Structure 1
Amino acid sequence: MELVTSQKLFDGQQQQYTHQAESVNCEMTFSIYLPPQADTQPVPVLYWLSGLTCTDQNFVTKSGAQQFAAKHGVAIVCPDTSPRGAEVPDDPEQAWDFGLGAGFYVNATQSPWKQYYQMYDYVVQELPRLVEKKFAVTTQRAISGHSMGGHGALTIALKNPERYRSMSAFSPIAAPINCPWGQKALGLYLGDDQEKWKDYDSCELIKVSSNAVPGLVDQGSADDFLQQQLNTQQLIDTVSRANYPMQVRMQPGYDHSYFFIATFIEQHIAFHAKHFDNT
């Protein structure tokens, strides 16, 4: 693991690292914010998953989250959104909604993607092992994300309720089996059997969940992707029918941008902090 950059921020440290990742078979980059409390004791960790076309840096530079992480004594880890490198296959049509920058946080089963696109294993297993070995953090984890990353955060927590204290999302792709982004990505990464797609669909996972993880979702009413891609109403209906402990809030006038995230990120970090011990 190699340190790329390090800056002091709200009395903590914002750092970026590279490391060779076995699960995705390439060098990966991630960022971590260590709050000042980490100087004296291990702190819990919030994993943030970003959306289509993003890297580990979008949330770091645009969200303003570090001041609230410092307040609550929470580390924030931001992985990249896909494997990277000249050898990693990309969308054959060079589209932005698949391939590089668009790993969808699944374990691909189809060629040529399966050799590299094992982002689910990377986020759930390999990266936490590394973080918990190298930094002053506890095994108390939460997970959050935006858009494709919101999809990733919700599905990962729903599939691993024993690993996460809480989950949240901004503008998540809530039912990827029913939207163009999801149908393209799941079809290419997982193949034509749509029953297998359900394993990475938040609404489908909530229907069969037996161990609940507390959840918070914010969605802007002025989001250009709301109707065609995000399926927020389906999430609201599914949560209601399942009596699942997730609050889904429609925020009037907000769009899909990081301005929206910056507005509500303090509330999300406070939500996660209350589910950690001693923060």
Structure 2
Amino acid sequence: METLSTAKSHGGVQGVYRHVSEATGTEMTFAVFVPPQAARGPVPVLWYLSGLTCTHANVMEKGEYRAAAAAHGLMIVCPDTSPRGPGVPDEPDNWQFGCGAGFYVDATQAPYAANYRMASYVRDELPALVARHFPADMARQGIFGHSMGGHGALTLALKNPDRYRSCSAFAPIVQPATAGWSQPAFEKYLGADPAAWRAYDATALIADGARFPGFLVDQGSADPFLTTGLRPGLLEVACQEAGIPLTLHMREGYDHSYYFISTFMPDHIAWHAERLKG
């Protein structure tokens, strides 16, 4: 693992790191904030998954998570959103697919299957690396994300309830198998059979029996993608039918940007901290 940068912040350390990933076959860059409480021993880990077009840097620079993370003693890990590099198949003119748009799936279709294995990377490879190099209490993990990353957080939590104690999302894509900006990507990554997409669709996973102790979701009412790509009401119905507690806040006047995310970031970190105690 290579250290690209470190800076002291709120008594802790914000770092950026790079390593060669077996899962993606590329170099991967990620960010880690280690709170000051880690000087006394391992601390809980909260994974943040970013949205379309983002890298690790967007939330690190605009998410304003460090003050709350330091107050609650949480380590924040921010992976990239996809593999990158000259050998990685991509559609440079399509912001909804390819580099920056890995959708947190393990692709099964050529030529994408060789590199686009973000589910395995986030679930298995990166946690193992973090456990080796950082003072992380891997028995206390939570996960959250934004948009495409909210989708990733929900699906990873539903499929790994023994791994994650808490899960929340900002403006998540709750049913990517039928959303116009994600369905084409699913077909390219996972093939033409919609049955293969269900393993990466939060509402389908719940319908198929997956369960989680509860979710927190914040959604802006002025989000331009609200009714076409995000559709939080579908998650609300799925959770009601399955008996999964869902706290859904519709935030009047807020959009899809990091102005929205940073406003409610402290609420989400406090919510996770409560569930990651002890």
TM-score past 0.5 threshold: yes
The C-alpha deviation readout for 1:30-71, integer Å capped at 9, x for no partner, is 000000001121000000000000000000010110000000
Shift of 1:209: 3.3
Shift of 1:211: 4.0
What does residue 118 of structure 1 align with? 117
What does residue 99 of structure 2 align with? 100
Q: In 1, distance between residues paired with 2:123 and 2:210?
A: 19
Stretch deviating more after TM superposition (256-265 or 232-241):
232-241
TM-score by length of 1: 0.97
Structure 1 residue 137 corresponds to structure 2 residue 136: yes
Q: In 1, distance between residues paired with 2:117 and 2:210?
A: 26
Pairwise mapping of residues 1-279 of structure 1 onto structure 2 (< 5 A)?
1-91=1-91, 94-139=93-138, 140-278=140-278
Aligned partner of residue 98 in structure 2, secondary structure: coil
Aligned partner of residue 178 in structure 1, secondary structure: coil
One-letter amino acid of the structure 2 residue matched with residue 121 of structure 1: S
Q: In 2, distance between residues paired with 1:33 and 1:209?
A: 35
Q: In 2, distance between residues paired with 1:127 and 1:214?
A: 25
Shift of 1:210: 4.9
How many residue pairs are counted as aligned between the two chains? 277
Aligned partner of residue 177 in structure 1, secondary structure: coil
Alignment RMSD, CA only? Answer: 1.0
Shift of 1:270: 0.6
Shift of 1:245: 1.8
In structure 2, list runs of 5 or more residues that go unmatched. Answer: none
The C-alpha deviation readout for 1:155-193, integer Å capped at 9, x for no partner, is 000011000000000000010011112211100000001
Q: Which runs of 4+ in 1 moved over 3 A?
A: none
Q: In the alignment, is the contact (CA less than 8 A) between 1:90 and 1:100 conserved in 2?
A: yes
Stretch deviating more after TM superposition (78-87 or 231-240):
231-240
Q: In 2, distance between residues paired with 1:265 and 1:208?
A: 31
Shift of 1:256: 0.2
Q: In the alignment, is the contact (CA less than 8 A) between 1:167 and 1:216 conserved in 2?
A: yes
Q: In the alignment, is the contact (CA less than 8 A) between 2:50 and 2:147 conserved in 1?
A: yes
Q: In 1, distance between residues paired with 2:213 and 2:143?
A: 11
Shift of 1:221: 0.6
The C-alpha deviation readout for 1:243-276, integer Å capped at 9, x for no partner, is 2122122111110000111111101001100111
